[in-house]
Amino acid sequence: MDDELIDDTGRPLSRYTRLPGSGSFYPDSLDDKRAAIRDRETIEDADAVVIADGDADGLACAAMIRAAHDAALDPEPFERALAAKTTDDDADADTTENDEPTEDAHTRSSVGLLAAGPYALDTALERVAEYADMGVDVYVCDLCPDDYEPIAGSLESLAETAASVRWFDHHQWDSAVAEAVRDTGVDLVVGASDEECTADVTLRSLATDFEKRWHELATVTRDHDLWIKTDPRSDDLADFSYWSGSETYTALIGAYGADLPETVVTYLESRRVEKTARIDAAVDRAVVHEVGEWSVGVTYGRCSQNEVAERLREAGADAAVIVKPAGSASIRGSERFQHAHEVAGRVNGGGHPQAAGCKPDIYDDMLDYANHWTTEGRACKRVILAAFEAVAETVQANDGPDNDEPDNDETENTGSNDAE
């Protein structure tokens, strides 16, 4: 495909926010090859390997584990690279990829880091099982498998070859999956998701006397992850984890904790100008639907889903659905709506009572995606609203519209994998 067709530069926000990022327009196979090479470089010869969700919570766990192993990276090259991006957009115009000062960061710590979403967990475990040395320590953080079978082979192999496999999480685990994971010998610790984020779980599970700033980092991370929203620094952590690479985020919060350095603050300010415009566009596109006793705001676009959801809640919505150009969607709840995970579970997803994600299985080819983009996700919105209606009927039939207690009969604790 012509590079100019997928380059966002200079395009009106009203157009490019309806499309996925440029990375969506080249084959997954090419991405997979690059990722496999990078993962192998990360894993081979490492003393320990961390597989973590690539959000602020998962990467905070990775920073803690590196600190416990005395394997943190020097933050200075990462700060220098951020400063260059902020002060001059063209500063690296004549710089090759190999000249990037953080390009080999993934190979420089004795604790390798694989950032993996919930749908890539099986691949990450397979690669660690294949490339890790005998006697490696393995950690899995902030990830919850829906089923045991996809990870069974690699996890059982690691249980035999690794010195230890420890799994820290706070998500909603099926009790049978949790039992199967523990039966392999994995040390699985699952916190209560209405009280802890995975950084909290990791902090209390590692046999390390962490300094006060690490406890503060866990508290601020929890503030965003559980949508408490009382500490403004939590938005900084969330935005920084989203916009920076996993190694950059892990290195800098490892060095500074929740009080990010001025270099990062300046970088975030420059990025938030566009972020605000994207949020405004998504809010302007929103349509409110009445489903049962709930008002559900539904919108579409490339944007920060949490901030869009907050704006829709402020406007009176009990729940918010943000459909993304890539075909996935985020579902956010409120005090009045605590069934986001139930809705997501009906459309190929899962999550917390107030925060969930999904990707409906409705895309067979590029024509389906073309329809998705030109109609602003009409088919995706339709199936998610149908899931809301089904959940509303179930709630009303069981306990009435005001019953907000999640059904935990088949789960261990509560939580989510929001597929963002």
pLDDT digits (tens, 9 = 90+) for 68-127: 999 999 999 999 999 988 875 433 333 333 345 678 888 899 999 999 988 899 999 999
Contact predicate 155/180, CB 8 Å: no
Question: Which segments of the chain belong to CATH 3.10.310.30?
Answer: 280-412
Give the CATH number of domain 280-412.
3.10.310.30
d(CA 149, CA 177): 9
How distant, in Å, are the alpha carbons of 26, 150, 308, 312, 382 from that of 352? 32, 22, 18, 19, 22
How distant, in Å, are the alpha carbons of 222, 224, 233, 238, 276 from that of 227? 8, 5, 13, 11, 19
Q: Which residues, in sequence order, are bridge partners of residue 174? A: 411
Rounded-to-5 percentages of helix, strand, coil across the chain: 50, 15, 35
Q: Beta strand pairing status for 137-141 and 164-169?
A: parallel
pLDDT of residue 417: 42
pLDDT of residue 354: 93
SS3 266: helix
Q: Which residues, in sequence order, are bridge partners of residue 349? A: 358
Residues of the chain under the 50 pLDDT cut: 1, 5, 89-99, 401, 404-420
SS3 321: strand
Q: Which residues, in sequence order, are bridge partners of residue 137? A: 48, 164
pLDDT of residue 32: 78
Closest to 239 measured CA to CA, from 270, 262, 285: 270
d(CA 344, CA 362): 14
pLDDT of residue 3: 57
